[in-house]
Amino acid sequence: MVSQCPYSSLCLPATDLPRIVVIGAGFAGINLIKKLHNSPVQLVLLDKNNFHQFQPLLYQVAIAGLEPDSIVTPIRKLFQGYRNLIYRLAEVNRVDPDSRRVFTDIGWVQYDYLVIATGSVTNYFGLEDVARNSVGLKDIRDALDIRSWVLQNLEAAAITCDQNEKEALTNFVIVGGGPAGVELAGALSEFRRYLLRKDYPEIAEEWMKVYLVEATDRLLGTMPEAASDHAFRTLSQLEVEIRLNTTVQGYTGSEVLLADNQTLLAKTLIWTAGVKGAAPEGLAPESGTKGRRLKVDPFNQVEGCRHVFTIGDIAAMTDEEWPQGHPMVAQVAIQQGKLLAENLLHLIRHGTFKTAFHYRDKGSMATIGKRNAVAKIGGSVWKGKLAWVLWSTVHLFSITGFKNKLMVGINWIIRYLNYEKANRLIIREFKPQQTKVEQT
Ligand SMILES: Cc1cc2nc3c(=O)[nH]c(=O)nc-3n(C[C@H](O)[C@H](O)[C@H](O)COP(=O)(O)OP(=O)(O)OC[C@H]3O[C@@H](n4cnc5c(N)ncnc54)[C@H](O)[C@@H]3O)c2cc1C
């Protein structure tokens, strides 16, 4: 019989091994854990969701291209056979570095080493009415909400005789011209081109408008200009109405207020314009940055906090090459997770860290509709079909689980051939939530 651990209220077995508590089963957390499989440590993984999600394909769930279960994997399935791992479905509220405790909604746990890998959340930059009336695209629930919202509004547009109402219901505004916004805008405009007439004969194609609003002077601002130009041209050909140098000031639920005093009538607003770190409370305010990330040294240790580490989106590590911190992308999270595992083992065995983190930028990419993408690999930019093949291959290989790879692959082949989106289902009604906005 396993004796009960006196250092936790989470029903953990007692152990003499060093205990590493990991918060978050995102890209960073799962790569750290995979590296520590079979190591002489007790791993305690806490996540508020019982699944790991593949965020790069959320937009395809949102626009009814994929089912949610093809891009999420249950955590317990992912780590079957990991004898040194204990998983608890728990939301972490606070950490206390003095007593080395983590407090969750189901109890507390004491750690020897703490790894915070909680990622990021949508940043509304203090725009309360936008947060209240719109939806972000950060997790699988958001994606399902967007899918329901789009389809609900098209259903409502099909039966209204009020022209203003019809216009607002068929106008879709996406805010943020980064990869998520560009991919979503491309997918939505292809929905209009290939499916609207078939599914909604009551709605003329020219009534449905897709707007993409971006605050800076180009799309895909983190990629080279050639990629931005290609994205702009391709989306324009797909009849996406792109507004550059335009910020959103507010949203009433049916009217988007733009900085130039213009308004857009729209009953759907999707916000992909920014994220901020999702740090739990309890760490010294000095360790936080403006974007709510946590400052770490080159070994991912939180400044001024021994044995507390952060990896992935939440970690703000700066160096000469990255004075503002690394980009919040999957590769940074994966590389930091793997390296911290090695450094933690070295710390436990020898009392010192082994290797400082250096980010190897493997490139970035984004799709722009069907069979079109841009990719930056090293110094070169790929565009069009070749980039799309590259994008598809990389994403297919990166999804966790063989079944998921198979489901996504089959779905893509069907869509490549005939553009059928099988998942046009409103499973649960969506109403914009009253999201509480913290000032940033
Ligand atoms: C729509 C979208 C598209 C993207 N596309 C790309 C792309 O094409 N390429 C790319 O490289 N990157 C992309 N990214 C970024 C990439 O997904 C992130 O950089 C990456 O997921 C960060 O990994 P992470 O482990 O730090 O955090 P996450 O993967 O976000 O994981 C955080 C985990 O922590 C858990 N958690 C959070 N708070 C708590 C808490 N208080 N208690 C318990 N558990 C908690 C969450 O449930 C989650 O499982 C995209 C992101 C989005 C939103």
117, β-bridge pairs: none
**Which residues, 6 or more positions from 174, have their beta carbon under 8 angstroms from its beta carbon?**
181, 184, 185, 188, 210, 211, 212, 213, 270, 272
CATH class of domain segment(s) 128-273: alpha beta
Atom of ligand 1 nearest to the CA of 272: 1
| Cα–Cα dist 148/359, whole Å | 38
The pLDDT value given to residue 434: 53
Q: Read off the pLDDT of residues 309-357 as tens digits, 9 standing for 90 and up.
A: 999 999 999 999 999 999 999 999 999 999 999 999 999 999 999 999 9
User: Is it true that 19-48+90-122+276-350 and 128-273 share their CATH fold?
Assistant: yes
Provide the 3-class DSSP secondary structure of residue 278: coil
315 CA closest ligand 1 atom index: 26
Would you list the DSSP string of 11-22? -PBP-SSPEEEE
Decide the pairing of beta strands 248-251 and 255-258: antiparallel
Phi-psi region of 187 (alpha: psi -120 to 50; beta: other; left: phi over 0): alpha
- The protein residue with its alpha carbon nearest to ligand 1, atom 4, reads 56
Average pLDDT, the chain: 93
User: For residue 149, what pLDDT is reported?
Assistant: 97
Q: How far apart are CA 210 and CA 213, in angstroms?
A: 10
Quick one: pLDDT at residue 2?
47
> Which residue has the CA at smallest separation from atom 27 of ligand 1?
119
pLDDT for the residue numbered 1: 43
pLDDT at 343: 98
- pLDDT per residue, tens digit, the chain (440 aa), is 445 677 788 889 889 999 999 999 999 999 999 999 999 999 999 999 999 999 999 999 999 889 999 999 999 999 999 999 999 999 999 999 999 999 999 999 999 999 999 999 999 999 999 999 999 999 999 999 999 999 999 999 999 999 999 999 999 999 999 999 999 999 999 999 999 999 999 999 999 999 999 999 999 999 999 999 999 999 999 999 999 999 999 999 999 999 988 999 999 999 999 999 999 999 988 999 989 999 999 999 999 899 999 999 999 999 999 999 999 999 999 999 999 999 999 999 999 999 999 999 999 999 998 889 999 998 899 999 999 999 999 999 999 888 899 988 888 888 777 777 667 888 888 988 755 555 45
Pocket of ligand 1 (CB under 6 A): 23-29, 46-49, 55-56, 58-59, 91-92, 117-119, 137-138, 179-180, 278, 280, 312-314, 328-331, 333
Rounded Cα gap, residues 341 and 37, in angstroms: 10
Q: What is the CB neighbour count within 10 angstroms for residue 290?
A: 10
The confidence score (pLDDT) of residue 437 equals 55
CA dist list (Å): 212 to 134, 146, 245, 413: 14, 16, 11, 28
pLDDT at 52: 98
Protein fold of 19-48+90-122+276-350: FAD/NAD(P)-binding domain (3.50.50)
Domain boundaries defined on the chain: 19-48+90-122+276-350, 128-273
